């Protein structure tokens, strides 16, 4: 039995978790700062690092307490080293270093994106293609590579080919806004509460996804073929133009004219994002003959994205449970487990890596 304590402070959630053998969550504590940042319509970096400082000690103590485990029973500490906000990362990393030093435990610095991927190993997936739960668990335990991974979060949109544990080839990613960032920015344009992702999903439930024709940006490579990169900033501008056409007096961050069809706009925007994400992911899965499609990161909570991927993919689609889509430390502990068992250890002199690519 290998017990890993995970610590995550890359953005606006202070999180700690105890995970056994990379799969079994014994505790998963997340102190969210969403309310703190909502008034700014986005994460305010200095406030984020100060809030991490205030809560990190309590959050780690609570994670150990809820797991009923002492530091002496932990095998290693896994901490997010990057990418993320430097001032936020430093709080978790320094706390983890102090704990590792004081308790003589090994420490492993984890890439936050790899953490999102390993959120998919934390609970048996519910596969649309494998209704038999025993088959699903078998596949969960012994996944067959290669798989295609789509990471869609507030900071990243990455399409990867995963050929083994810790082995990734980057196929493409966003060239401007991340998918979650686009949801957040459009949510703000539509006067919806922060964060925009869940607000847009909720508003879209009452809307018509075909009400507005918004652009699908497929991007072409040198030879005219569609590539695996994404671009969402034009879509955001298209929503802004549509708002301005509907109401020439429209100004962002001021109350919307009551006649603006917010639900239709939200549904049309969501459909445009989902169509491109699903189209490119499925094409990659076909090209590389993937056994499964894995989706992770905050936007993988999106119901329209999940439904469209499951409906269109001719292979199993793995999605995390909703509480593991957004930032948490269980995923960091799970990723830490796979690195720990291969003998990987970090020394205590590493720095945070705010823009650490996964590949």
Site residues, ligand KG4 (CB under 6 A): 11, 153-155, 180, 183-184, 195-198, 201, 297-299, 301-302, 326-327
Q: Is residue 111 close enough to count as binding Zn ion by CB under 5 A? A: no
Does residue 276 contact residue 226 with C-beta atoms inside 8 Å?
no
User: In angstroms, what is the minimal distance from the CB of 171 to Zn ion?
Assistant: 20
Integer Cα distance of 211 and 214 in angstroms: 9
φ/ψ of 102, rounded to 5, equals -65, -35
End-to-end CA distance of the chain: give it in Å, rounded: 30
User: In angstroms, what is the minimal distance from the CB of 11 to Zn ion?
Assistant: 6
User: In angstroms, what is the minimal distance from the CB of 34 to ligand KG4?
Assistant: 10
Compare residues 155 and 316 and give the one whose CB is closer to ligand KG4: 155
Compare residues 184 and 292 and give the one whose CB is closer to ligand KG4: 184
User: In angstroms, what is the minimal distance from the CB of 10 to ligand KG4?
Assistant: 7
In angstroms and rounded to an integer, the radius of gyration of the C-alpha atoms of the chain is 21
- Pick from Zn ion, ligand KG4, none: which does 184 bind, CB < 5 to 8 A by kind? ligand KG4
Q: Which residues neighbour 266 within 8 Å (Cβ) at sequence distance 6 or greater?
A: 186, 190, 192, 200, 203, 204, 207
Interacting span for Zn ion (CB under 5 A) from 25-33, 98-106, 316-324, 326-334: 326-334
User: In angstroms, what is the minimal distance from the CB of 147 to Zn ion?
Assistant: 19
Integer Cα distance of 71 and 61 in angstroms: 10
| DSSP string covering 7-21 | EE-SSSEEEEEEEET
Q: Is residue 327 close enough to count as binding Zn ion by CB under 5 A? A: yes
Look at residue 178 and give its three-state secondary structure.
Answer: coil
**Distance from chain centroid for Cα 217:** 22
φ/ψ of 292, rounded to 5, equals -150, 165
| Closest of 356, 348, 359 to residue 96, by C-alpha | 348
Integer Cα distance of 62 and 126 in angstroms: 30
User: In angstroms, what is the minimal distance from the CB of 116 to Zn ion?
Assistant: 6
Compare residues 10 and 27 and give the one whose CB is closer to ligand KG4: 10
Compare residues 99 and 235 and give the one whose CB is closer to ligand KG4: 235
Sheet holding 107-111, edge to edge: 24-32, 13-20, 3-8, 76-82, 107-111
Compare residues 153 and 242 and give the one whose CB is closer to Zn ion: 153
User: In angstroms, what is the minimal distance from the CB of 183 to Zn ion?
Assistant: 14
Q: Is residue 153 close enough to count as binding Zn ion by CB under 5 A? A: yes
Compare residues 22 and 320 and give the one whose CB is closer to Zn ion: 320
- Pick from Zn ion, ligand KG4, none: which does 115 bind, CB < 5 to 8 A by kind? none
Q: Is residue 114 close enough to count as binding Zn ion by CB under 5 A? A: no
- Pick from Zn ion, ligand KG4, none: which does 301 bind, CB < 5 to 8 A by kind? ligand KG4
167-173 and 292-296 beta bridge pairing: unpaired
- Pick from Zn ion, ligand KG4, none: which does 195 bind, CB < 5 to 8 A by kind? ligand KG4
User: In angstroms, what is the minimal distance from the CB of 76 to ligand KG4?
Assistant: 23
- Pick from ligand KG4, Zn ion, none: which does 174 bind, CB < 5 to 8 A by kind? none
Integer Cα distance of 297 and 159 in angstroms: 12
Does residue 311 contact residue 275 with C-beta atoms inside 8 Å?
no
Which residues contact Zn ion (rule: CB under 5 A)? 153, 327
């Amino acid at each position: 039995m290998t017990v890993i304590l995970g610590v995550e402070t890359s953005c606006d959630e202070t999180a700690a978790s105890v995970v056994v053998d990379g799969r079994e969550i014994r505790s998963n504590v997340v102190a969210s700062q969403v309310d703190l940042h909502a008034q700014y319509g986005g994460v305010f970096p200095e406030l984020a690092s100060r809030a991490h400082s205030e809560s990190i000690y309590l959050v780690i103590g609570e994670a150990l307490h809820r797991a009923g485990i002492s530091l002496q029973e932990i095998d290693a500490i896994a901490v997010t080293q990057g990418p993320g906000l430097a001032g936020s990362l430093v709080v978790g990393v320094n706390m983890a270093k102090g704990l590792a030093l004081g308790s003589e435990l090994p420490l492993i610095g984890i890439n936050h994106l790899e953490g999102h991927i390993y959120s998919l190993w934390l609970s048996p997936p519910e596969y649309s293609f494998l209704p038999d739960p025993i088959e699903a668990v078998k596949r969960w335990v012994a996944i067959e590579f290669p798989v295609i991974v789509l990471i869609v979060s507030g900071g990243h949109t990455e399409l990867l080919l995963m050929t083994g544990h810790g082995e990734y080839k980057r196929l493409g990613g966003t060239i401007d806004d991340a998918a979650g960032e686009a949801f957040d920015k459009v949510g703000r344009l539509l006067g919806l509460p922060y964060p925009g992702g869940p607000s847009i999903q909720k508003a879209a439930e009452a809307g018509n996804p075909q009400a507005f024709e918004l652009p699908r940006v497929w991007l072409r490579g040198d030879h005219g073929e569609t590539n695996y990169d994404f671009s969402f900033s034009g879509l955001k501008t298209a929503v802004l133009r549509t708002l301005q056409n509907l109401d020439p007096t429209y100004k962002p961050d001021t109350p919307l004219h009551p006649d603006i069809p917010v639900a239709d706009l939200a549904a049309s925007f969501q459909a445009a994002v989902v169509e491109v994400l699903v189209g490119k992911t499925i094409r990659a899965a076909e090209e590389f003959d993937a056994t499964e499609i894995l989706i992770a990161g905050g936007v993988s909570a999106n119901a329209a994205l999940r439904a469209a991927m499951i409906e269109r993919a001719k292979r199993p689609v793995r999605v995390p449970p909703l509480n593991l889509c957004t930032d948490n430390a269980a995923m960091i502990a799970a990723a830490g487990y796979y690195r720990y068992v291969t003998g990987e250890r970090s020394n205590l002199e590493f720095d945070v890596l705010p823009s650490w690519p996964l590949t």
